[in-house]
Structure 1
Amino acid sequence: MVDPVVHIANLTIQHGKDSVLQDLNWQIFPGEQWILGGPSGTGKTTLAKAIVGQLKYEGTISFHLDNNSSLPPVVHYVSNWFQFTNLEGDRNFYYQQRYNKFAKNDTLTVFAELKHFAKDEQLAFEDVAPYLTIFGFENFKDQQLIELSSGEHKRLQLVKALWLQPQVLVIDQPYTGLDVQSRKDLNQIFDQLADKGVSLLLISNDDEQPDCINRFAEIQNGKIVLRHHSREISRGIPRKRKELPYFLQQPPKISDPTMVKMRQINISYGEKQVLKNIDWEVKAGEKWLLQGHNGSGKSTLLSLINGDHPQAYANDIHLFGKKRGSGESIWEIKEHLGIISPELHWYYDMNANVGQTIASGFFDSMSLYQKLGYEQQQKLDQVLHFFDLKDAKHKTLGSLPLGQQRLALLARTIVKHPELLILDEPCQGLDKEQSQYFNDVIDDLSKNGQTLIYVGHFQSQLPTCIDNKMVLEKGEIKSVERVIHKKETLST
C-alpha cells in the first residue's frame, strides 16, 4: 500500500473562543493534485499554515517524503502576502516608502534575495533564469524588495517556489495580482511540475486551473469535504443588495471639472524609466478603467495622483484644479479622494479594530487617532450596516478572513464620500460573490456622479459603469478608448 505524502489526523485549531478546524482528517497521495476552495473564512489558510508548521494545533500532521527523489524532500508554502523584512530583520516600513528614494531603503535587492534563497536551498543560480523570464523579472534584479508592487511580490514568491520544485508545494491564492498572460504561464508550469512528481495544493476559488488538477475539496464546519469537480465547491452566499446610506446617495462635492490633468509625465528610478510621456485627463463624473501587465506602471501613475510619489513635484500635474507643488499639502490632496490598493492593505495596522479601520478613512490615516464627531459616527454606523460588518466592529482587522479585511478597507475608502475614488485591484482576495457585491456598490455610487479610476484585469471582476479605458505597456500609453459595449471590451 502506498503511503500518503501528507497525512492529517484529528487536526483541531482554535482562534480565541472560535473553533476554526475541528477533528479534521485528510490524506494526500502521490500523483494527486489538489484544489482547496470554498467561501472566505472557512479555514483554508489556517490549514495551509498548520501543514507547514506556522500555527500551533492539536492532532497530528505527518509527511512521507522520498529521500531518493530528484526533487528536494521539502514542503514549501507560498502565502497570499509576502512578509519581507529589512536588513535588520524588522518590518518597520511605511506606506509611501517604496516611492521615496530619499528615505532609507534598507531591504535586500531582488538579486540578493534570490542569492540568499539559492544558498539556503542549495540551488544552482542559473536555473532560475527561465522563471525570471516567464514572469518578466529580468529587469528587476537591482530593485529593493520594498520598491516592488504587490503583483511583483507575488511573482517573486512564485519564482522561488517553482525554482525550488519541492515534493509538496502549497500555494495560497496562486493567481493573486497576476495578469491574464502570467496566469496562463503559471498553469503551464504547474502542469510541468506535476509531471515531475510535485504534489500541488492550491488554495483557490478561481474558475481557471491547471490541467493537472485531479482532486477537489473544501472545508465545512471545520472538516474536509471532498468534491468531484471544482464546480461542486461551495461559493459564498450572495449578498442582498441594500439601499446606499443616505449620505452616499447625494452627489459628491466637486472642486473642479477636471480632477486630474497630466502633461508629458516622466518618472525614473535611476536608469530605469517607469513612466514615459504620459498625457491624461480625468474629468468629473468619468469612470476610468486602468489596465496593463504587471510592472507596466499603473501603481506609479496612481501614486502621482494620491500624493504619495515625491517625483510628482517635478512633473506637470494638476489635481482638483491646482498645480501640484503650488503650496498644497499631501493631506489637502487626500481630502478629495479615497483609495484602496493591495499595498495600502499590506501596510495597514492589523491591530486596529474594524470600526477604527473604517473611521480612519475620515482622516486618511493608517489607524484611528482622533475622536469622531456625531455626524461621522452616524456615517460609520450606516456603512457598518451596509457592509454587514456590525458584528465585527470590535474585532481586530488581522483576526478577520482576508475577504472581510478587504471589505472593511473598501468601506474605509467610501466613508468620507470623496469626489474621486481610486480602486487599485479592489477585489483582490475577495471571492466571486464578494467581488460582485462590491462592484454593485460602485455601480450604485456611479449613478450619483462619482468619478472613478479602477484598476482591474478580469471581466468578471469589473463594475459595469466604466466608460473610459486606458492601457499602459512598459510605462507608455498603449491605448485610450471610450467603452461602449462595456462587459465585452473591458477584459485584457
Structure 2
Amino acid sequence: MQEPVVHIDQLKLQFRTKVILDNLSWTIHKGEQWLITGESGTGKTVLAKAICGLIPVSGTLEVKFDPSVRLPARSLYVAQWFPFKDKQGGTNFYYQQRYNSTEAENSTTVWEELSAYTTKVNVGPEQINELLQSFNLLHRKDAALIQLSSGEHKKIQLSKALLLKPQLLILDNPYTGLDVQTRKNLNGLLNDACTSGMQLILISNDGDLPSCINCFGKMEHGKLSTSMQPFAEETTAVADLAIPDFLLDPEVPSPTIVNANNINVSYNGKAVLKQLNWTVNAGEKWLLSGHNGSGKSTLLSLLTGDHPQAYANEIYLFGKKRGSGESIWDIKKNIGFISPELQWYFEPTSTVFQAIASGFFDTAGLFRSVTAAQAHKVRTMLSLFKLEDEEHTLLKQLPLGKQRIVLLARAVVKNPPVLILDEPCQGLDQQQTRMFNKLVDQLSTPTRTLIYVGHLAYRLPACITHRLTLKAGVAVEMEHALYTEN
C-alpha cells in the first residue's frame, strides 16, 4: 500500500477552555488534492499551520516527502494576509501611509520583492515575468508594495508560493480580494503545479475551484469529515435582525453626498485615476466595481479624507468642497467604513468592545473613554451580532471572519448617513456573508447612502441599484442597474 504523504492521528489542541482540534485524524495520499471547507472559527487555519509545523499540537502528525519528485521537499502554508516589510525589515505600517508618495521610497517594489525571493528558489527573471503576466501585474512591477491594493498584495503572495512550488502547498482562502479573471488564472496555475507533482490543500468556502481538486473535507467542532464528493452547501435562511432604534433613519447632511469633477490622481507620474466624474446623491446604493488595481481603493480614500491628493482635485463631500475649511474628522463623522487595509492596520491591543467603540471616534483603536450611553450602544451591537462572549477578547485573536463582523459593528455603531464598505465579505464564510449582506440591506434605509466594493455578484446585498465600474483608473461604465462581472 502506498505510504501516505500526510498522516494525522488523534491531533489535539486546546486554547484555554476552547477545544480547537478534537482528536482529529486524517490521511493524505499521493495525488490527492484537497478542498477543506467549514464555517469561520472551526479550526481550518489551525490545522493548516499544524501540518506545516507552525504551531505545537499533541498527537501524531507526520509529513513524508517523495525524493523522486523534482520539487522542494517542504510544505508551505500561505496565510490569508500578505505580511510584507519595508526596506529596513519593519512591519509597523499605518492606514494612510500607502497614499503618501514619500513613504513609497522606503517600501520595496514588486520586482524587488520577487527578485529577492528567487535567490531562495533558484528561478530566473523570465519566470517572474510569466507569473506577473498571468496575474496581470506586469505593468505594476515597479510599484511600491505599500501602494498596492489588497487584491494586488494577494497576487504577490501567491506568486511567491508558485515560484517555490513545494511538494505540499496549503493555501488559506487564496481567492480573497481577487477579481473574477484572476481567479480563473490562479486555478490554471494550480492545475499545472499539481500536474508536476505538487500536492494541494485548499482552504476555501468559495465556489471557484481548480479542476485538480479530487478530495473534500469539512471542519466542524474541531473534527474533519472527508468525502470524494463536494459537500452540499448549506443554505440556512437568514432571519431579519432586530435592528435597534438608534441605527435607523440617520440624519442626511446634504442632498448630494459626492460630487467629483475631473478627478486625477497619480504616483511618480503613474496615473491611478484619470478624469473621473461621479455624483452620488443621498440615499443611493452604489456598487463600485473593477479589476484589481483599477483605482477603487484610491477613489474611496479621496472620499474618506485619507488621501492627500483630494486637495488637488475638485471634490465636494456633503455639499462642501475639500479644502474649504472642514477637517478630516468633519468628513469621517458622517461615514461608516470597512476595508481590508483597516483590518490589517487596526490597533493590535484592541478588544472587541474597544474595536466597536472606536467607531464613535473614527480611530483605528480606542484611545479615549466612552460615555455610559455609548457603552450601552456597544453592548447592544455585541448582542445583535452574537459577540457577547468575545467582548473582552482581543480582536486579533478572533478568526478573520469574526474580525470582519466586529468591524461592521464598528462602522454602524454611530448610525452614519453613509456606509462605505470596501470588499467587506473578505474572509467571511457563506453563512456569515448572507448574514452580513442581510444586515446591510436592513440598514440601507431610504435616507442612508451605500458605496459597496465587491467582485462577485452572488456575494452582494440586494439593495444595490447603481454601479460605477473602473478600468485602469477610468470610469468605463455607470449604470442604474444591478451588476454582473464577467
Shorter-chain TM-score category?
A: over 0.9
CA distance in 2, matches of 1:242, 1:19: 29
- Counterpart of 2:270? 272
- Counterpart of 1:455? 453
Find out whether 1:37 has 2:13 as its counterpart. no
Counterpart of 1:160 in 2: which secondary structure? helix
> Comparing 281-290 with 13-22, which one deviates more in the overlay?
13-22
> Comparing 257-266 with 99-108, which one deviates more in the overlay?
99-108
Cα deviation for residue 22 of structure 1 reads 2.4
- Pairing 1:379-458 to 2, within 5 Å after superposition: 379-458=377-456
Deviation readout 1:292-342 (Å, 9 max, x if unpaired):
000100000000000111111101111111111112211111111111011
- Counterpart of 1:97? 97
What amino acid is the match of 1:90?
Answer: G
CA distance in 1, matches of 2:115, 2:190: 24
- Pairing 1:251-262 to 2, within 5 Å after superposition: 251-262=249-260
- Counterpart of 1:46? 46
Counterpart of 2:41 in 1: which secondary structure? coil
Counterpart of 1:378 in 2: which secondary structure? helix
CA distance in 2, matches of 1:230, 1:133: 32
**Structure 1 unaligned spans of 5+:** none
Cα deviation for residue 87 of structure 1 reads 2.5
CA distance in 2, matches of 1:12, 1:204: 22
- Pairing 1:147-162 to 2, within 5 Å after superposition: 147-162=147-162
| Equivalent residues of 2:151, 2:176 under 8 A apart | yes
CA distance in 1, matches of 2:167, 2:91: 30
CA distance in 1, matches of 2:9, 2:122: 32
Change beyond 3 A, Cα 1:103–1:87: closer
| Equivalent residues of 1:39, 1:236 under 8 A apart | no
Counterpart of 1:102 in 2: which secondary structure? helix
Deviation readout 1:334-373 (Å, 9 max, x if unpaired):
1111110111111112331111110000000111111111
CA distance in 1, matches of 2:24, 2:231: 23
- Counterpart of 1:244? 243
- Counterpart of 1:298? 296
Cα deviation for residue 88 of structure 1 reads 2.7
Cα deviation for residue 453 of structure 1 reads 0.4
Counterpart of 2:102 in 1: which secondary structure? coil
Find out whether 1:469 has 2:467 as its counterpart. yes
- Counterpart of 2:221? 221
Cα deviation for residue 105 of structure 1 reads 4.7
| Equivalent residues of 2:356, 2:410 under 8 A apart | yes
CA distance in 2, matches of 1:196, 1:237: 40
| Equivalent residues of 2:104, 2:144 under 8 A apart | no
- Pairing 1:97-116 to 2, within 5 Å after superposition: 97-103=97-103, 105-116=105-116
Deviation readout 1:169-226 (Å, 9 max, x if unpaired):
1100011111111111111122212211110100011122111111001223322211
Change beyond 3 A, Cα 1:103–1:187: closer
- Counterpart of 1:289? 287
CA distance in 2, matches of 1:136, 1:443: 34
- Counterpart of 1:316? 314
CA distance in 2, matches of 1:254, 1:189: 48
Cα deviation for residue 236 of structure 1 reads 8.7
CA distance in 1, matches of 2:268, 2:87: 22
- Counterpart of 2:6? 6
Find out whether 1:135 has 2:135 as its counterpart. yes
Deviation readout 1:407-460 (Å, 9 max, x if unpaired):
000110000111111000011111111111111111111224210100011111
Counterpart of 2:421 in 1: which secondary structure? strand
CA distance in 2, matches of 1:54, 1:147: 29
What amino acid is the match of 1:26?
Answer: W
CA distance in 1, matches of 2:216, 2:96: 41
| Equivalent residues of 2:79, 2:172 under 8 A apart | yes
Find out whether 1:205 has 2:205 as its counterpart. yes
CA distance in 1, matches of 2:250, 2:301: 22
Pick from 350, 356, 361 the counterpart of residue 358 of structure 1.
Answer: 356
Counterpart of 1:7 in 2: which secondary structure? strand
CA distance in 2, matches of 1:238, 1:196: 42
Change beyond 3 A, Cα 1:275–1:339: same
Counterpart of 2:386 in 1: which secondary structure? coil
| Equivalent residues of 1:98, 1:147 under 8 A apart | yes
CA distance in 2, matches of 1:105, 1:308: 19
Change beyond 3 A, Cα 1:243–1:281: same
| Equivalent residues of 2:104, 2:147 under 8 A apart | no
Deviation readout 1:362-418 (Å, 9 max, x if unpaired):
000111111111321222122111111112111111111111111000110000111
What amino acid is the match of 2:242?
Answer: E
Change beyond 3 A, Cα 1:2–1:41: same
Cα deviation for residue 92 of structure 1 reads 1.1
Cα deviation for residue 69 of structure 1 reads 2.1
| Equivalent residues of 2:455, 2:485 under 8 A apart | yes
Deviation readout 1:229-267 (Å, 9 max, x if unpaired):
22347x596553222111112x21111111111111111
- Counterpart of 2:81? 81
Change beyond 3 A, Cα 1:221–1:254: closer
| Equivalent residues of 1:260, 1:281 under 8 A apart | yes
CA distance in 1, matches of 2:301, 2:416: 17
| Equivalent residues of 1:40, 1:236 under 8 A apart | no
Counterpart of 1:391 in 2: which secondary structure? helix
| Equivalent residues of 2:99, 2:307 under 8 A apart | yes
| Equivalent residues of 1:135, 1:155 under 8 A apart | yes
Q: What's the C-alpha RMSD, in Å, of the aligned pairs? A: 1.6
What amino acid is the match of 2:155?
Answer: R
| Equivalent residues of 1:110, 1:140 under 8 A apart | yes
- Pairing 1:118-133 to 2, within 5 Å after superposition: 118-133=118-133
What amino acid is the match of 2:18?
Answer: D
**Structure 2 unaligned spans of 5+:** none
CA distance in 2, matches of 1:424, 1:201: 28
- Counterpart of 1:26? 26
What amino acid is the match of 2:220?
Answer: Q
- Counterpart of 2:347? 349
Give percent identity, aligned residues only: 48
